Amino acid sequence: MQELLTLLDKDLIYDGHEIIDGTFVITAHSGNPVCKCRYCGKESASVHSVYRRSVQDLPIQGHTTTLVLTARKMFCKNPQCGHKTFSETFSFLDRNAKKTDRLKEQILNVALETSSVAAADTLKREAIQASKSTVCLLLKKIAPPVDN
C-alpha cells in the first residue's frame, strides 16, 4: 500500500486502510516535516493544528477509493507575510478539490469519448463516483476559451 501512495506523492506515508460499505478507505499523511506557505512561499515546520481531508482517488480492485489525509495547518513565521497560518497543500490535489488530479484525468478520458450522462454511467461501473454535473464541470475547465 505504501508503494501505491508513493506513486501519488513521494512524501506520503501510509497509516492504514479498511473497507467501509464497499469503499476502500486509506489513511495517510505527509512525511515532509516542512510545508511551504502558499502566500509567501516560505517554508515552515511549525504546526498549528491538524485536520482530516477526504478525497476520492482511483478505484482499487473495483472499490471506490477514498483517501483520508491528515493535513496540517501551519504557522507562517515570515514577518513580511500577510498571513499568520496556512493549510498544507498536496502535489496531487487542487486546493479545495474532492478528487485527486489523476482521478479527474481518468474521468475526463471517459467523458471525452462519450456524453456526460453515459460517462457518469461508465464511471459508476468502474467504481468512480462522479455525477453528470461533475463531469460537465471538469469538461468546462479544460474547454478552450470561446472567442467573441
Question: Applying CB under 5 A, which of residues 27, 32, 78, 122 lies at the interface with Zn ion?
Answer: 78
In the bound state with Zn ion, the residue whose beta carbon lies nearer, of 15 and 43, is: 43
Task: Judge contact between 12 and 31, C-beta under 8 A.
Answer: yes
* Cβ-based nearer residue to Zn ion, 86 or 90: 86
101-111 and 132-142 are packed helices; what angle lies between their axes, rounded to 10 degrees?
A: 90
Q: How many residues bind Zn ion (CB under 5 A)?
A: 6
For CA atoms 44, 45, 48, 54, give the dihedral sign.
positive
Told to check if 76 binds Zn ion by CB under 5 A, we report yes
Restricting to residues 87-126, name those near Zn ion by CB under 5 A. Answer: none
Diameter of the chain measured on Cα atoms? 52
Cell of 36: 511551504
Instruction: Answer for the pair 100, 64: CB distance below 8 angstroms, yes or no.
Output: no
* Shortest Cβ 131–Zn ion spacing (Å): 36
Shortest distance in whole angstroms from residue 76 CB to Zn ion: 3
Site residues (CB under 5 A) for Zn ion, limited to 31-60: 37, 39-40
Applying CB under 5 A, the residues found at the interface with Zn ion are 37, 39-40, 76, 78, 81
